[in-house]
Amino acid sequence: MSDIVLRQIGLVRTPFMEKFGIPRQGGLVDEIHATLVLDAPYNREAAWRGIEGFSHLWLLTWFHADKGADAALTVRPPRLGGNARLGVFATRAPYRPNPVGLSLVRLVQVERLDNETVCIHVAGADVLDGTPLLDVKPYLPYVEALPEACGGFAPDDSGGRLRVVWTEQGRVACAAWSARYPDLAVLVGALLARDPRPAYRGDKDGGRVYGMRVYDLDVRWRVRGDAVEVLDVLAALRPE
């Protein structure tokens, strides 16, 4: 077979500096704001003429952080607690023969820049910051919204729902970063409410303190019962 050449059309800029904490599907957390930073000539306004008539978009991306990982025939879906193996094509696991991602996002704004160029603001992205963007297609409700469809082992949104409790230290620390990141408290609350812990851990953490990278910050939190406590928000240490 001949090689297939894909052309990157830009990058997706998101608050996520690492994979832990990213929602497992696009559109689940609308509070996530992302920007499509486009390469020339795809940043020309003409390429996006008419896009504002659509409320949602499909993003096709490249799982660059998993590049080089061996694709397997079977994977362990987090939805099943990592306890069962299914065929890779029966899942949305990122370890695939071709690591292409598909995300449904809400169109927020087409920002018009100088020289008739644009960048695109979206909500609900589920990708790592700097993810290569391969293509964008409008979402068509009349053919893509199928309430009678069967969802296999993931028939509905069964993600965790935790109460978010801010400790005094967490609240003060978050407020200290609010000038730089006005949406930080709302974003952190929305992400933690969905319980980003690996599904196989369940309630076995025993108060373990987690760290989650959001922007250039390290959000410290732990789960107690049905609540997640935000303990602190620190400047993230840069990797050596």
CA–CA distance, 134 with 114 (Å, rounded to integer): 24
CA–CA distance, 228 with 194 (Å, rounded to integer): 10
In the chain, which segments carry CATH 2.40.30.70?
10-144
CA–CA distance, 180 with 146 (Å, rounded to integer): 41
CA–CA distance, 187 with 32 (Å, rounded to integer): 6
By CB atoms closer than 10 A (0-12, 13-18, 19+), residue 66 is middle
The per-residue pLDDT for 69 is: 58
**CATH H-level, domain 163-235: superfamily:** RelE-like (3.30.2310.20)
CA–CA distance, 127 with 130 (Å, rounded to integer): 9
The per-residue pLDDT for 175 is: 96
CA–CA distance, 30 with 56 (Å, rounded to integer): 12
The per-residue pLDDT for 205 is: 65
Q: Which CATH class is domain 10-144?
A: mainly beta
pLDDT (tens place) for every residue of the chain, 240 residues total? 678 899 999 999 999 999 888 888 888 899 999 999 999 999 999 999 999 999 999 999 998 886 545 667 888 887 777 778 889 899 888 888 888 999 999 999 999 998 899 999 999 999 999 999 999 999 999 999 888 888 887 777 766 688 999 999 999 999 999 999 999 999 999 999 988 887 665 556 668 899 999 999 999 999 988 899 999 999 987 654
